[in-house]
Structures are given as structure tokens and as C-alpha cells.
Structure 1
């Protein structure tokens, strides 16, 4: 500081000269970029050779996934007599994080990306599998991972789970954590009376962004006009909550797209259902991961009652079939209109069925589907889970919630398929493996406790064909309390993360 005090005039002079020098430079740069050159002032493209455009895929060495906060009610205000007030009851929640393959470091932070709440760091002593567990609070977390290399078999899987035996959130809710993206879409249940749907958009980046909401319902194939607006600002390192049950109310089912303009975001829909004062279940709905003319929804159980929500880009017949260990059993064929959400009641899952096959006729393209699976408990209480279509991957994994009893469901439709299931404990140590073989057009289930005790994460490496799979966790204490429960966890792909960089050579820009 003393040197600057001795020569204030010289410093001021240098600053002034620098500013004066920069003015013509900036003006020149602005002129070069903002003014089109005269046609005769540049050589034609042929003088330099043809214009060159190319794209290159670049491996991403950092990833981020959003893990929503524990399940909550939209309104917990105290109104009227205490016995009629909404309450979360004895809710408990947990989160599990796992990293696989060529991972350097994984941290769990708040959305602000500040100090790590939990750290998973490789020490070179194992196969690169890292596992951590934490209690969930009322705030969301961000799973940030640095990779040593971007390759198949490398990536993360994380899950959150909330459960309560008392109050208005009785039952079980679970979700796999969601990666960031510019565009995400959802297929959602009814927004009618008794339904609360909150779209939570999280922005982990350091700059605010604007998201655009588009929605289609069951009333027609036309886009719905959201009564609360279609554009929303999401602050940097923050969240925005959009009330979908108010924005697009009165629909039996809704298809929603969320598009961000400036930064990748993560989005989850928190759905809570009630009939008066009787809880009818809650769940997290995560983005759609796959569309096509043939979809598989693994993770059904014969204790479930199923209602399917479906939407297609073009209209036509869609066939729904149960997948069992013996093959496919047709359940229903329904005609759908282009862009209009269809709702199909399939009733109770037949014995032995653990997956649903959704197939469109030749005229039907770009189908998305989700199954609303429900179970009834005592005193009118019920719970539900949204089971989405699975996207098969050569390597994928599921983080198993702490304290959950878990059943895995596998299905194959494109041909016979085989793979190896590896189970890891809470220290990231592989404790057991099992060969998985699924005949084409069938499904099967495996109780995780039959493979290994105290499983914290499971990984499936497919060696032949394609396998769609998912998990159905349950909590023993809810069964003991005669509380209905339903939840579903999709598998997370362990695949090379890439982004595309475009390069354009244009000699007319400067000469």
C-alpha cells in the first residue's frame, strides 16, 4: 500500500492512458463484429476454401445431481381446531449416495455449492465404488462429482426416501436424484380436487435463469394455458416452486415440459393426494427418461392397482400387456389422440406380473407412459407411486435407501438378456454378485435380501441384450403399523457423459 501512496499521480495517469487506449480498440472490435463488410471488401469463400463446420463430442469430467428435500405439505398453517390441522406427523427421511468407476471426488453440498456436507473420496484401495448415507433435512442437496475420465461404467446413483406412520403424509415416498438439463418433461396424475402438485425447479449454477412451462392435459390435444403464467425466474443457487395444481387444474392427467434458457436445471414434482382429511399418498415424480413406440415399466407387484397415463405425438392404438415369468398377457388396447394425455385403468396386477409393456401401432410415434400404482391401508388411507418407463443401459445402478427392504424387477423385450448384479455395502465393498438372465418377452423379480444383507447400492452390468429394471423399496415399520406404502426407484445409467462442441470456420468474420 505504501508504494501506491507515494505515486498517486503516476497511477492515475496510467489508468487514464489505459482507458483512452482501450476506447479505439473496443470501438474497432465492435465495428468488426457488428458491421457487415461490403461485398467487395473481402475475398469470396472460394479464395480461402470451402466453409468448414464440424462438431466434436467432448467427455464431461464433472456432473451434478439434485436430491429433493424430504416430503412436505404445501400448507402447514394452523387453522381451526388442532385435530383438523395438517401435519407431517412422525416423518423420517434418509438419503443414500453412491459413485462408481473412475471417480476422483464426490461431494454433497447445499444448492449454493458451499462447504461439503458429505464427501466421498477415492483412496485407491478399492474398485472405485464410494457410498455415503445421511439424514435428510427440510432443504435439498446437490451431489457434485469430479471424474478422472468419462467412460461407460462410471457415474453416480443417489436416492432419497421419506416415510411416516402418522399425520397427513402417511406412507412412503422415494426418488432417484435428478441430473441437470436444459429440457425436462413429466407425466403426472390428476390435478383435480384433493391433489397438490408442486413443480420444484432447482438452479445450482451461479447465474439466474428463466424457465418456460408448457402443459397438455386430458381435455384435448391442445396446449393448456397455465393460469399462473408460463415463464418463471429461478435464482442462482436456488429453487422456484410452481403450483401445477393451480396452474393447470381440473385435468385427469398432465404432460408438462420445463425448458431453461440460460443454465441447466433439475426439476422434481412433489405430489400429495387427499380425500378430505384422509391421506391418499404422496410421491416425488422425476423427469421422463425415455420415449418410443415400445416401452417397458418394471417394478409392479400383485398387491398394486394400476392406472396408466400415456401420451403420444401421433394418434392411434396403444396396447398394454403384463409381463410375467411366462411371457406377455394382454391387458387392454386403447386409442389415443395426438398430444392428448390418455388415462387407462388396468385394475389389479395379476399374479406373477412384475412389469408392463406399452406398445404403439405403426401409426403411433414418440410414446411416453407412466403407471400410477396404488395400495389401500386402514381407515381409508392409501399410498401410491409413479412408475416410469425404464431406459436400458449397459451399466446402471441404484442407491438403496437406508433401512429399506427392497425388491428388484427386471424385464427384457428385445431378445434374451443377461447381466451381472453386484451388491455393495455401506463402505462401498462388493459383498455379493448374482447372474441375471431374462428371457425375451418376460420379467422377473429378486428380493435384494436373498442376494446380500445390508445392501447400500446395487449395480447391473449387462453382457447380452437389453434389460430394463427398477426397485421397489418398503419400510417394515409401516407394515407393522398397517400403513399402506408404495414407492419406486429407477436405475441411473453409468455411461460416458459427453457434450457436443460445434466449431464453424467463416473467413468473412475477419480478414
Structure 2
């Protein structure tokens, strides 16, 4: 196997990566976009993983309250027109948004929707997107300005479809005393790390949350069990968790969606940054991730219910696959891996394969000497990789 690595491509519009099979072999590809804004009102670190278009998507964690800007960008890379309808959920229940229905996106075009025009002054907002015709991809550009102080930027990428069991890796928590000082400032009430849960059904959902750290399960200060109200966006504060990087296991008696809002800061008065860690797919065979340059990258893995083994194969800048390294995951513990230390500083991308109990992972990004933080979810494997050829005969 060989690879091609392409970095630092300047783009002025939506870009599409198409992969064709070669010699009966399924091609794999992955990409990401990273924005590192060092000054101005919109300073911070934002990142998103390229996604496979779909006809139904959920996005969670947006806010349209004062100082918060949410722009939903819809891309139709197919050759078929797409008609998109948006269903919005707030912290007070479903919203009636007729202007979000019947949005036509022509083939090969992009359409942006300012969510404050559909759902103004909403502290919490989740969006269910349904497309008839062409499949689309979607992302929310979220930014925060607290008075004259930058409050962070990020891309909100789709979360997993509503389910009764979700896993959210890459939850980085600051020291409780530092986090308390930041959120105690005027206008910083939402500058807290919190689990955001949306219940799309008609019945309330009892949600149990467990936090898995490097040494195992850590008790949540509020007990981790709460009732999420039907049709609403609910949040559970993670304030009080000891400093560290965790994975959250979410179990609910009714289907829910989940994401975690991360807040990172340096000191009181300085800008903070935000990031959103969405619920993750179970790792399988040969997931591909890119390792961005000029930012600190770490990989966070966990196997909540049993032991698992991961194989990480580095890919160099010139497309050569290196020797794979094994990472052993102990039941219920989170493991943080420095890819440059494990795989070498020349790695530009990584192939990840998992065996054993269900395992999950994500990529955390940051930069030294700043509050910058972002999350790059690990994309699901291509549909072709799941196919099994069965030959019958005598």
C-alpha cells in the first residue's frame, strides 16, 4: 500500500475529495480543515473532519444568544438537486421555523444559513437536517464574542444519530479552580465544560453518564444521572471533574444525541476558546486520519466495556506506510497517545484498526502558549470496507 499526502491547500470554496477503486482495491481517503486565527474578534482554533454526505444529519451545541454567531453551511457535492428541511430544538423545546423548510441546494453548490435568523436568542440549539434528493454535508461555524474579548471559534460537525448508548472521547477538562474563576466573570456563564443532550422523541429520557479517565472511572460531582426533557436540548455541567482527559459513556432509556462543549483558557481576562467533542463511531478496520501541522495533536482512545487492541500505522509525507504500533486499551480507561512520540515526527497521517471490545477514539488539537483547542473526530470507514464477499457453490 502507498499513499499520497497533500497539505496546506488554499481553498476559496467547498472542496470535494472523490476516490475511485484501483485494481479491484478499495481506496481510502481522509481530509481535515484547520483554522488557527491568532488575532481579531474571531481568534481561536477551529477544525473539522471531511464527512461523507448523507440524507439525514444531526448537529448539536450551537448558540444564537447575544455575542454568539452560528452559520450553518450546507454543501451538495452530488449531481442531483437537494431539498433540505431543518428541525430546530432549543432549551425550551421544538421551534417552529418555516423558513428552514424546503431549502433547495443545486448540484455542486453551497448554501449558508444564519441560524439566528431562524432561531434567535437561543442559548442551546440542535438541528436535525433532512435532505430529499441529493445527499449533503453540513457544518456549523460557531463563534463567540464576550463584549470585546474573543470567546472562541469552532466547527460543529454532525453527531451520531439518536441512540440509547453513546461514547464521547476527547473530553479535556481544566483544573476546577481555574475553570471556576473563568466562568465567574460577567458574561462567561456558559464558559463551562458541559454535556449537551438532545431528546428528539415525545418522552423524557433518563440519562446515566460515566467519565473514564486514564486510571478508570471517575465519579461525576453531580452523580451523573439526570432526566433529559423530551423535545429539548439539555445540558449536564462537568464542573468539578479533576483536571485531565476523559471519555464519557452515555446510557439513556430513550434515544438521545450527545456532544460535549469544551472550554479552554489561560487566565482570567484573556480570551478563551471553545471546542465541541461529538459522540463517536465505533472503531473498526483501517480508519484514516490526517495529522495537521503547526498544532499539537494527541489521540484519545477508550474501550468502555472491555479490553481492546489498536494498531496504528504511520504514513510519511512521501506516502510510505511505516511499521505499525500496538496500543493496548484496558477496560474502562482512556488512553492518550502522542502520535509523534509513538510513530515518529515524520508521520503525516495514521491508519487505525481496532480488535477486541468496542473501541472509540478522537483527535485533540491545541497550540502551545494559548487557550486554543479543537477536536477532529475520526471518520467512519467507507461503506465498501464493510462489505463481505460470499461465494456459494458445490
TM-score interval, normalised by the smaller of the two chains:
0.7 to 0.9
Pairs within 5 Å for 1:153-232:
154-220=27-93, 223-226=94-97, 228-232=99-103
- 2-structure distance, mates of 1:471, 1:499: 23
In the alignment, does 2:215 pair up with 1:326?
A: yes
1:132 is the counterpart of 2:6: yes
| Alignment partners' CA distance in 2, 1:329 and 1:150 | 47
Q: 1:397 aligns with which of 265, 288, 293?
A: 288
Q: CA deviation at 1:497?
A: 3.3
Question: Which residue of the other structure, out of 157, 160, 165, is the alignment partner of 1:294?
Answer: 165
Q: Does 1:444 align with 2:335?
A: yes
1:235 corresponds to: 106
What is the deviation of 1:357? 1.7
Assess if the C-alpha contact under 8 Å between 1:306 and 1:349 holds in 2: no
1:342 alignment counterpart: 234
Contact 2:62 2:70 in 1 (8 A): no
Q: CA offsets, 1:289-326, max 9 Å, x none?
A: 35422221111224375211102334232122211122
Deviation of 1:339 (Å): 2.4
Is this contact kept in 2: 1:227–1:248, CA < 8 A? no
- What's the RMSD between the two structures over aligned residues? 2.3
Shift of 1:145: 1.1
Unaligned runs of 5+ in 2: 176-191, 388-394
2:292 pairs with 1:418: no
Deviation at 1:227, TM superposition (A): 6.3
1:276 equivalent in structure 2: 147
TM superposition score normalised by structure 2: 0.86
Matched, 1:491 2:378: yes
Does structure 1 conserve the Cα–Cα contact (< 8 Å) formed by 2:153 and 2:273? yes
SS of residue in 1 equivalent to 2:135: coil
Change (3 A) 1:472 1:415: same
Deviations 1:348-371 (A, max 9, x none): 5424442122222xxx22221000
Name which of 350, 355, 361 aligns with 1:463: 355
Cα pair 1:150 1:496 within 8 Å, conserved:
no
1:64-113 Cα deviation digits (max 9, x unpaired): xxxxxxxxxxxxxxxxxxxxxxxxxxxxxxxxxxxxxxxxxxxxxxxxxx
Say which is worse superposed, 229-238 or 279-288, in terms of deviation: 229-238
The 2-side partners of 1:430 and 1:388 are apart by 29
Q: How far did residue 133 of structure 1 move?
A: 1.2
Does the C-alpha gap of structure 1 residues 336 and 440 become closer, same or farther in structure 2, counting only changes over 3 Å? same
Structure 2 residue 256 is matched with structure 1 residue 256: no
Match of 1:143 in 2: 17
| Cα distance in 1, alignment partners of residues 274 and 35 from structure 2 | 13
Q: Is residue 216–residue 256 contact of structure 1 (8 Å, CA) maintained in 2?
A: yes
Higher helix proportion: 1
CA deviation vs aligned residue, 1:129-177 (integer Å, no higher than 9, x gap): 33211333332211111123888x8522111101022112211111101
Are the equivalent residues in 2 in contact too, given 1:155–1:493 (CA < 8 A)? Answer: no
How far apart, CA to CA, are the structure 1 residues paired with 2:382 and 2:134? 22
* TM superposition shift of 1:498: 8.7
Q: Which has the larger radius of gyration?
A: 1
- Structure 1 residue 260: deviation in Å? 1.6
Instruction: Report 1:467-482 matches (<5 A).
Output: 467-476=359-368, 479=369
- Residues 149 and 270 (structure 1 numbering): CA distance in 2 closer, same or farther, change over 3 Å? farther
SS in 2 for 1:178: coil
Residues 149 and 368 (structure 1), Cα distance of their counterparts in 2 relative to 1, 3 Å cut: farther
Check whether the contact 2:42–2:144 (CA below 8 A) recurs between aligned residues. Answer: no
Distance 1:432 1:278, change over 3 A: farther
8 Å contact from structure 1 (residues 218, 342) kept in 2: yes
Q: Would the alpha carbon gap of residues 499 and 237 (structure 1) be closer, same or farther in structure 2, given more than 3 Å must change?
A: farther
1:276 and 1:351, CA in 2 relative to 1: closer, same or farther beyond 3 A? closer
Rounded to whole Å, the distance in 2 between the matches of 1:499 and 1:420 is 18
